[in-house]
Amino acid sequence: MIDLQPILQAGVEAGRAPGFSAAVTTRDGGRVTACAGARGLDNPRPMTPDTLFWIASCTKAITSVAALQVVERGLIDLDAPVGGRLPALAAPRVLTGFDAAGAPVTRPATRPITLRGLLTHTSGLGYDFCCADLAAWLAATGGAMMGAGEPDIPLMFEPGEAWQYGIGIDWAGRLIEAVTGQGLDAWCAEHIFAPLGMADTTFFPDAAQAARKASVHQKAPDGTLTAIPFGMPSTPHFMMGGAGLYATASDYLTFLGALLAGGAPLLKPETFAVMMQNQVGALDAGALKSTQPMMSLDFEPLAGHVRRHGLAGLVNPDPVPGRRSAGALAWAGLANCYYWADPAAGVAGAVFAQVLPFADPGIVATFDEVERVVYA
């Protein structure tokens, strides 16, 4: 039997995080969960399998599956312009630079934004924490990404021309709502969480769930950890589809188990096959260059390997020695939550912490160690 607890405990003792929770499937189809440390420096209760984490961008894979469910029902098309349903995206503009006075210069985009572009981060929409041009545009205009409403930002490039991590899947969540007439939370609860029995995955934790949340921490450059106040809004908000979920590591593994099962019972086999295929051609995907080091460090997943993007996350066309097979899916969440799903090998795993900035080298090393143990 795989024993993950020593890996997690070593991470706690090394000061990587106050606590970890992990859940993996093994080659024989078994499930292994492990925890170490405490829920927070301000919450000495032990980390347990039912501890809730803000999983941030691990939400994206779930929203992407929800979007593909809506495609299967014929309510939207992957390659149709989304502007008819999302007026704010009907006439996008592309940032071309800044004039001598520092004012941004834009031009109309010549291609429409599509759902495929939103799901693959090729729409041109960005995040300011990992896009210097967008950060500069916000500084010049006084704009904001995290307000209650829809961010009014330009595209960083013509749709389809590049890969840039951004708010596309938040917009995909809005598209789901527009075509179904349901809130994204209601759609996911009915069509993903209930069928899989994911009772502890939610956009809006109830009182009992909130009492089981791990605290979010800020790590200083010297490694000092401090618990910080943090919580996603208690009402529907723009960032739901890309970053809004809370979950346990065990619940998230249940979702990954559906991916190991070829998408069942969430997606048709043919839809799942397309979801897992490279959708970005020769574009390199996954690397992030931070503009806000307190929020995220530079991220270089699978460094040295070919990285592409499917319709639900990062995919690797080639095997990674000692780790995942070709065709695996992976991504992460801002507070250092990480996962992978490898249908070819029949294994998957999630390792969750609650520490900023993202891409903490020590926590990434803990995740890598867990993955390697599963394959070893």
Domain coordinates in residue numbering, the chain: 5-55+210-375
Q: Token pair of 290, please?
A: 């931070």
What is the rounded average pLDDT of the residues 174-203? 98
338 is catalytic: no
C-alpha to C-alpha distance for 4 and 88, rounded to whole angstroms: 46
Structure confidence at residue 40 (pLDDT): 98
Per the residue annotation, which of 21, 57, 123, 296 is the catalytic one?
A: 57
For residue 250, indicate whether it is catalytic. Answer: no
- CA–CA dist 154, 291 (Å, integer): 18
User: Which of the residue ranges 232-241, 291-300, 318-327 would you say has the lowest mean pLDDT?
Assistant: 232-241
At 224 the pLDDT is 98
| pLDDT value for 246 | 98
CA gap 301, 307 in Å, rounded = 8
What is the length of the chain?
A: 376
Surface-to-core class of residue 190, CB atoms within 10 Å of its CB (0-12 exposed, 13-18 middle, 19+ buried): exposed
Give me the residues paired with residue 350 across strands.
23, 339
Which of 64, 123, 127, 165 is the catalytic position? Answer: 165
Binned at pLDDT 50, 70 and 90, residue 146 comes out as confident
User: What pLDDT score does 149 carry?
Assistant: 83
* The predicted structure's pLDDT at residue 1: 82
Q: Which tokens in the block code for residue 50?
A: 């039912």
CA nearest 11: which of 376, 274, 374, 368?
368
282: helix, strand or coil: coil
What pLDDT digit, counting tens, does each position of 2-59 carry?
999 999 999 999 999 999 999 999 999 999 999 999 999 999 999 999 999 999 999 9
Q: Which of 21, 60, 246, 339 is catalytic?
A: 60
* Residue 25 CA to its chain's centroid (Å): 20
**Axis crossing angle, helix 5-13 with helix 361-375, rounded to the nearest 10:** 160
Residue 147 has pLDDT above 80, yes or no: no
**Confidence at residue 197, expressed as pLDDT on a 0 to 100 scale:** 98
Examine residue 357 and say whether the peptide bond preceding it is cis (omega within 30 degrees of 0). yes
pLDDT in the model for residue 133: 97
Measure the CA–CA gap between 102 and 56, rounded to whole angstroms: 33
What is 83-98 written as a DSSP string? Answer: TTT-GGGSS-EEEEEE
CA distance 84 to 91: 10
SS3 31: strand
Q: Are 238 and 174 in contact (CB under 8 A)?
A: yes
In the three-class reduction of DSSP (H, G, I as helix; E, B as strand; rest coil), residue 288 is classed as: strand
Residue with tokens 């995740």: 367
Please tell us whether the domain made up of 5-55+210-375 is placed in CATH 2.40.37.10: no
Enter the pTM of the model.
0.98
165: annotated active-site residue: yes
**What's the CA gap between 192 and 65, in Å, rounded?**
8
β partners of residue 225:
219
C-alpha atoms less than 13 angstroms from C-alpha of 66 in its C-beta half-sphere: 32
**Long-range pairs of 327-330 with CB within 8 A, sequence gap ≥ 24:** 327/276, 329/61, 329/259, 329/276, 330/301
Note the pLDDT tens digit of each residue in 355-376: 999 999 999 999 999 999 999 9
pLDDT of residue 358: 98
Residue % of the chain over a pLDDT of 90: 97
Over residues 218-229, the pLDDT tens digits come to 999 999 999 999
Looking at per-residue pLDDT, the higher value among 149 and 334 belongs to 334
**pLDDT > 70: what percent of the chain?**
100
Tokens of 46: 């032990």
Task: Return mean pLDDT, the chain.
Answer: 97
How far, in Å, CA of 239 to CA of 261, rounded? Answer: 29
Q: Tens digit of pLDDT for each residue in 77-87?
A: 999 999 999 99
| Peptide bond just before 361 cis, omega within 30 deg | no
